[in-house]
Amino acid sequence: MTETVQYQLIEEKIALITLDRPEAANAFSLQLLDDLTSVVEHVNKQKDIRATIITASGDKAFCAGADLKERAGMTDDEVVQTVHKIGQTVHAVENIKSPVICALNGVAFGGGLELALACDLRVAADHAKFGLTETSLGIIPGAGGTQRLPRLIGLGKAKEMIYAAKRVNAEDAFTIGLVERIASSQSLLDEALELARSIASNAPVALRQAKQAINKGFHVDLETGLQIESMSYAVTIPTEDRLEGLKAFKEKRKPEYKGQ
């Protein structure tokens, strides 16, 4: 547990990371960035974690992006360094070894949405709103938003959102593929946990290799992507989990995967 980011193992194989600056809309202070990086490093060291949920305190904001009050006192060089730090932190979340579900409990603007885009799946509270609104502040998304958003929802929709600093509600976000599920505020974590359980019931080596194959293969041509998939597949062949999966299927029972 850190000052601005809470961590807990909510079930045996499922981690919960909670941004905890509700008084500041869970904005990215330098302290929060350090704390989130520290928690991500801890998660990656836990071999038993098969799924991770990221959410935030309160029901108004998931993350409002950069802490503009803190930024107001920075020099231009310090602003550039801070934006780079946000990008590094978001990238670290993207590279969490286990699949990551973002439970968006409220608004996610700017860097907050960029953090959500770095997660594998997104579940949104029905009142939440989203946007990469940087152009309305005289800047552009600087933590991966111009790259990850088009890859997720398509070039035209992403350009519309970014150029117009457009905000979308949960229903529209679902329609354009920005989020995978919508839930009420009361059932948001339950919905995310249900999804996490369905993931965590599968073989951990296979989960890690599937994530790696998808993420690395998505950015290259098909031929290279197929080679990446083949290499990731090969990693699963000598595992005990693969043999357990075959045995459980034959015996018509639930497999007991150990990550080996």
Mind listing the pLDDT tens digit for each residue in 36-62?
999 999 999 988 899 999 999 998 999
pTM across the whole model: 0.92
216-238 b/e with 16+ CB inside 10 Å = b? Answer: ebeeeeeeebeebbeebeeebee
Burial, 171: exposed, middle or buried (Cβ in 10 Å; 0-12, 13-18, 19+)?
A: exposed
Report the amino acid identity of residue 30: L
Domains of the chain in start order, with CATH, are: 5-201 (3.90.226.10), 204-251 (1.10.12.10)
**Which pLDDT belongs to residue 75?**
87
- Mean pLDDT across the chain: 93
DSSP string, the chain: --SSEEEEEEETTEEEEEE--GGGTT-B-HHHHHHHHHHHHHHHH-TT--EEEEEESSSSEEE-SB-HHHHTT--HHHHHHHHHHHHHHHHHHHT-SS-EEEEE-SEEETHHHHHHHTSSEEEEETT-EEE--GGGGT----SSHHHHHHHHH-HHHHHHHHHTT--EEHHHHHHTTS-SEEE-TTTHHHHHHHHHHHHHTS-HHHHHHHHHHHHHHTTS-HHHHHHHHHHHHHHHTT-HHHHHHHHHHHHTS-------
Sort residue 19 into left (φ over 0), alpha (ψ -120 to 50) or beta. beta
Task: Please name the residue that has the structure tokens 């098969």.
Answer: 50
Residues recognised as catalytic: 114, 134
* pLDDT for 1: 54
What's the half-sphere exposure (Cβ side, CA atoms, 13 Å) at 79? Answer: 10
Paired tokens of 53: 């949920």
d(CA 135, CA 87): 18
The two most distant CA atoms of the chain are separated, in Å, by: 65
pLDDT (tens, 9 = 90+) of the chain, 260 residues, equals 578 999 999 988 999 999 999 999 999 999 999 999 999 999 999 888 999 999 999 989 999 988 888 888 788 888 889 889 999 999 999 999 999 999 999 999 999 999 999 999 999 999 999 999 999 989 999 999 999 999 999 999 999 999 999 999 999 999 999 999 999 999 999 999 999 999 999 999 999 999 999 999 998 999 999 999 999 999 999 988 888 888 888 888 888 888 77
